[in-house]
């Protein structure tokens, strides 16, 4: 198995850059590679010649670029939080969507929209996004703690308890979010529906700027926990014997992962399977060393979500598919395969 | 060296350990034996600082263990627990290298890599280096785990190795291999403490034996002094016969019925 971490990470980053360039160029307004290059050089002052139309430039800068960047950071956030939660729960099936963290965040965001609506309006859009992100984070955090308490017994994840708790929380959050739709105005209703389907359609420089800090902290912090999570894979007691402060690692993973998931849900709603499938593919290809899997998940997750978004906005153009449909179509077969292979190993 | 002085441990009203004391010098191997529920595992947990004693104290190299940081402890003491399940796929090499985690931040040093190789060589698992841990047999897995804990303290003089029933579920060949490796560590100057079920293995490999019953010390000393019919009767509630055998420093213990 090929294991040079630097080479793998560089390769994935190159892939991510290709996907980014493809995504900003393809769409209703077509931009050729040469024109893309011209826009870049014109704006950085390298070249004075503009071989592109002003419409192309406007589309690229104010529509596609923020959307693609949002896709990159949200994909990265979802994949890295999935990978780190799987390390903490010692099970590859722990995924923010499956175990109810995303729906906990959605419920909290919906509560904020319906009951804090006037507050959001007076705060203006950027602070409104902050408030939503914090609400979603709080929802995600409470859910994670609940799930962790219910699923862990003597340092071992009871996988049935984990998944059943996820089902229960998903159902509960879905019911409450449904109730809220009866209390909400038309505009609030549209917002809530958008949350439960998942979309990058609301992307703008403002939404990007408001969630970027909430995602940057986990993206920088979580890779440092790779070693501790590797040790926890041997068991919490064993990790303690190896000098890992298990309680501190747990707290950090839960806070950072829920921060990333909360922020993603606040701007893009529930996007499932990224946190499950991306780390799994990496483990299959390069082994389970979290020192590689965590940063690599972030890069591949960013690329995968950007690609999924590209498909969702071009395949039925001029209409747009909810991105959740695309990630589910790509993700659920991998999920089924994972269940089958775990059944074979008798780990369920 | 390890000094254990009058440690007691109780949960609620139940006294699990009661005033156990012993001293073990560097280079010595101690075997702890006793019936199920005698308090052996609790003693090991106290030594690992997983739980804190109700009274009494433990010191490593004349320093109270409460004064060590988690990291300092990990540098000088490694533990082979029972039931080592690994949740995800790791190669043998990666797992043994994890033993070096207390010694490096992000990238293992050349020394860490060398220690990893030596630990694998000593435990005879070099040929398994690239295999997935979860595909190995029980005996191979136990040797990989032992290589990991040896790697953790390999270059640390006066370090401590704790083993919790390391021979459980292994065949006779592997049992002896594991205990011989523990013995070698003691010969190199490490302090080794192992919980064992087999009295004959204990007297053959260990320098000192501690016999526990219901949390109290039945006997502590060299195998020849403590392995006698009375002590075994007392600790295990069984009849035994002792039999001298050529090549064994201590008489063999043969169970001969249940005490009524």
Any idea which of A17-21, A112-116, B99-103 has the lowest mean pLDDT?
A112-116
> Is residue B56 domain-resident?
yes
User: What is the band of A310 on the pLDDT scale with cuts at 50, 70, 90?
Assistant: very high
Instruction: Indicate yes or no: CB of A234 within 8 angstroms of CB of B101.
Output: no
Predicted TM-score (pTM) of this structure: 0.86
Which residues in chain B are closer than 8 Å to A1, comparing Cβ atoms?
A: 91, 130
Collapsing DSSP states into helix, strand and coil, what is residue B208?
A: strand
Q: Chain A window 263-292: which residues touch B at a Cβ cutoff of 8 Å? A: 283, 287-289, 291
- Are both B19 and B39 inside the same structural domain? yes
pLDDT class for A346, splitting at 50, 70, 90?
A: low
Does residue A2 carry a pLDDT above 60? Answer: no
For A30-55, what is each residue's pLDDT tens digit?
A: 888 888 888 888 888 777 777 788 88
Residue B242, pLDDT above cutoff 60 = yes
CA distance B39 to A338: 42
Q: Taking all residues of chain A, what is their mean pLDDT, rounded to a whole number?
A: 85
pLDDT band at B211 (very low <50, low <70, confident <90, very high): very high
Question: Is residue B110 domain-shared with residue B124, that is, in the same domain?
Answer: yes
**Domains observed in chain A:** 5-344 (1.10.3470.10)
Instruction: Give the pLDDT of residue A220.
Output: 96
Mean pLDDT of B88-101: 91
A2 CB within 8 Å of a chain B CB: no
- For residue B150, the model assigns a pLDDT of 94
Residue A56 sits at φ, ψ, to 5 deg, of -60, -40
pLDDT > 80? residue A155: no
Let me know how many helices (H) and strands (E) chain A has, helices first.
15, 2
Q: Quick check: is B24 in a domain?
A: yes
Least confident span in A191-205, A331-345, B239-253: A191-205
A130-139, A218-227, B58-67: segment of lowest average pLDDT: A130-139
Nearest to B48 by CA among A170, A117, A238, A291: A238
Which range is least confidently modeled, A17-26, A105-114, A234-243, B150-159? A105-114
Of B77, B81, B91, the CB nearest to A238: B81
Kindly state the average pLDDT of the residues B52-70: 91
C-alpha span between A303 and A314 (Å, rounded): 17
A185 versus A224: which is more confidently predicted?
Answer: A224
Over residues B134-190, the pLDDT tens digits come to 889 888 999 999 999 999 999 988 899 999 999 988 889 889 999 999 999 999 999
Measure A216 CA to nearest chain B CA, in Å: 21
> Which one of A1, A241, A291 has the shortest CB-CB distance to B48?
A241
Cβ neighbours of B88 in A, within 8 Å? 90, 92, 233, 283, 288
Closest residue to B74, CB basis, from A230, A243, A283: A243
Looking at the fold, whether B87 and B167 belong to one and the same domain comes out as no
Please judge whether B78 and A244 are an interchain contact, meaning their C-beta atoms are less than 8 angstroms apart. Answer: no
Better-scored residue on pLDDT, A258 or A3: A258
In this structure, are B113 and B167 located in the same domain?
no
| H or E, element range at A167 | helix A159-183
**Higher pLDDT among residues B92 and A262, named by residue:** B92
The ipTM assigned to this model is: 0.88
**What is the total residue count of chain B?**
260
| A194/A177 Cα distance (integer angstroms) | 12
Mean pLDDT computed over A12-18: 95
**Residue at B179 is within a domain:** no
The number of folded domains in chain B is 2
Pair B149, B133 in one domain: yes
Shared domain for B87 and B114, answered yes or no, is yes
Sign, CA dihedral A309-A314-A316-A320, equals positive
Whether residue B167 is found in the same domain as residue B252: yes
Return the pLDDT at B105. 85
Residues B57 and B166 in one domain: yes
Cross-strand bridge partners of residue A152: A157
pLDDT bracket for residue A347 (50, 70, 90): low
Please indicate, yes or no, whether residues B167 and B148 belong to a single structural domain of this protein. Answer: no
Q: In this predicted structure, which of A102-116, A237-251, B120-134 has the lowest mean pLDDT? A: A102-116
- Does any domain span residue B55? yes
DSSP B206: -
Are residues A240 and B50, on separate chains, in Cβ contact within 8 Å? yes
Q: Which residue of A90, A235, A287 is in closest CB contact with B91?
A: A287
Domain span at B124: 70-157
What's B146-205 look like in SS3? HHHHHHHHCCCCCCEEEEECCCCCCCHHHHHHHHHHHHHHHHCCCEEEEECCCHHHHHHH
Written as one string, the DSSP assignment of B37-97 is: TSSHHHHHHHHHTSS--SEEEEEETTEEGGGS-HHHHHHHEEEE-S----SS--BHHHHHH
pLDDT tens profile A276-308: 999 999 998 888 899 999 999 999 999 999 999
Which chain A residues are closer than 8 Å to B48 by Cβ?
241
Q: Quote the pLDDT of residue B34.
A: 92
Query: Within a domain: residue B12?
Result: yes
> How far does the CA of residue B225 sit from the closest CA of chain A (Å)?
33
Q: Which residue has the higher pLDDT, A253 or A127?
A: A253
Same domain, B164 and B258: yes
Task: Kindly report the nearest CA distance between residue A166 and chain B, in angstroms.
Answer: 20
Non-local (6+) Cβ contacts of A58 within 8 A are: none
Is A242 in the B-facing interface, judged by CB distances under 8 Å?
yes
Same domain, B168 and B128: no
Residue in A58, A68, A79, A77 with CA at minimum distance from that of residue A26: A68
Q: Indicate if B74 and B150 belong to the same structural domain.
A: yes
Query: Rounded to a whole number, what is the distance in angstroms from the first to the last CA of chain B?
Result: 41
The string of DSSP codes covering A314-334 is HTTTTS---HHHHHHHHHHHH
CA A312 to CA A297: how far, in whole Å? 22
Residue B178 within any structural domain of the chain: no
The CATH number that applies at residue B116 is 3.40.50.300
Whole-number pLDDT of residue A199? 79
Quick one: pLDDT at residue A282?
93
pLDDT 10s digits, B230-239: 899 889 988 8
Which of B88, B134, B163 to substitute to test the interface with A, most A CBs within 10 Å?
A: B88
Statement: residue B30 has pLDDT above 80? yes
Whether the Cβ atoms of residue A92 and residue A86 lie closer than 8 Å to each other: yes
Residue A163's pLDDT band (boundaries 50, 70, 90)?
confident
pLDDT at A157 (0 to 100): 67
In whole angstroms, give the CA distance from residue B173 to residue B138: 13
- Classify residue B182: in a domain, yes or no: no
CB spacing of B84 vs A233 below 8 angstroms: no
- Residue B205, domain member (yes or no): yes
In the three-class reduction of DSSP (H, G, I as helix; E, B as strand; rest coil), residue A121 is classed as helix
At A223 the pLDDT is 94
Query: pLDDT band at residue A124, thresholds of 50, 70 and 90?
Result: low
The CA angle B36-B37-B41, to the nearest 5 degrees, is 95
Nearest CA in chain A to B70: A243
């Amino acid at each position: 198995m090929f294991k040079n971490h630097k080479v793998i990470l560089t390769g994935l980053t190159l892939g991510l850059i290709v996907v980014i360039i493809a995504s900003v160029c393809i769409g209703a307004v077509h931009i050729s590679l040469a024109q893309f290059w011209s826009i870049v050089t014109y704006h950085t002052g390298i070249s004075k010649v503009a071989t592109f139309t002003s419409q192309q430039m406007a589309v690229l800068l104010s529509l596609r670029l923020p959307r693609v960047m949002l896709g990159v950071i949200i994909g990265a956030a979802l994949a890295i939080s999935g990978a780190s939660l799987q390390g903490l729960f010692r099970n590859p099936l722990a995924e923010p969507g499956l175990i109810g963290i995303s729906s906990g965040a959605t419920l909290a965001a919906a509560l904020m929209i319906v009951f804090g609506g006037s507050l959001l309006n007076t705060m203006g859009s950027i602070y409104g996004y902050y408030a939503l992100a914090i609400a979603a984070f709080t929802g995600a955090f409470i859910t994670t703690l609940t799930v962790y308490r219910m699923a862990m017994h003597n340092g071992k994840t009871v996988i049935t308890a984990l998944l059943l708790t996820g089902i229960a929380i998903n159902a509960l959050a879905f019911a409450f979010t449904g109730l809220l739709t009866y209390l909400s105005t038309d505009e609030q209703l549209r917002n809530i529906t958008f949350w439960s389907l998942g979309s990058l359609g609301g992307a703008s420089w403002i939404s990007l700027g408001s969630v970027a800090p909430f995602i940057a902290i986990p993206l920088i912090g979580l890779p440092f926990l790779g070693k501790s999570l590797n040790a926890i894979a041997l068991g919490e007691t064993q990790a303690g014997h190896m000098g890992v402060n298990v309680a501190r690692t747990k707290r950090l993973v839960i806070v950072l992962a829920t921060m990333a998931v909360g922020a993603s849900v606040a701007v893009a709603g529930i996007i499932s399977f990224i946190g499950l499938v991306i780390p799994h593919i990496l483990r299959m290809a390069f082994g389970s060393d979290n020192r590689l899997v965590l940063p690599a998940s972030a890069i591949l997750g960013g690329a995968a979500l950007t690609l999924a978004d590209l498909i969702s906005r071009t395949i039925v153009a001029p209409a747009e598919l909810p991105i959740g449909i695309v990630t589910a179509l790509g993700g659920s077969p991998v999920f089924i395969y994972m269940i089958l292979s775990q059944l074979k190993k008798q780990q369920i | 060296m390890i000094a254990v002085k009058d440690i007691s441990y109780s949960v609620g009203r139940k006294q699990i350990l009661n005033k156990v004391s012993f001293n073990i010098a560097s280079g010595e191997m101690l075997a702890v034996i006793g019936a199920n529920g005698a308090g052996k595992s609790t003693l090991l947990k106290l030594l690992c600082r997983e739980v804190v004693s109700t009274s009494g104290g433990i010191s490593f190299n004349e320093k109270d263990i409460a004064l060590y940081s988690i990291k300092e402890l990990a540098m000088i003491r490694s533990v082979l627990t029972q039931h080592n399940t690994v949740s995800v796929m790791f190669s043998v090499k990666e797992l043994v290298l994890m033993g070096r985690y207390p010694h490096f931040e992000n990238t293992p040093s050349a020394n860490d890599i060398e220690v990893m190789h030596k630990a694998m060589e000593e435990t005879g698992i070099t040929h398994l280096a690239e295999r997935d841990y979860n595909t190995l047999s029980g005996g191979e897995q136990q040797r990989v785990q032992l290589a990991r804990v040896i790697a953790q303290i390999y270059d640390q003089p006066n370090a401590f190795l704790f083993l919790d029933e390391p021979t459980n579920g292994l065949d006779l060949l592997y049992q002896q291999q594991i205990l011989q490796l523990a013995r070698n560590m003691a010969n190199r100057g490490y302090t080794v403490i192992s919980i064992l079920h087999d009295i004959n293995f204990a007297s053959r490999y260990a320098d000192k034996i501690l016999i526990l019953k219901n949390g109290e010390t039945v006997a502590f000393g060299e195998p020849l002094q403590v392995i006698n019919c009375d002590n075994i009767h007392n600790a295990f509630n069984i009849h035994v016969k002792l039999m001298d055998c050529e090549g064994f420093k201590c008489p063999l213990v043969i169970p001969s019925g249940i005490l009524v």
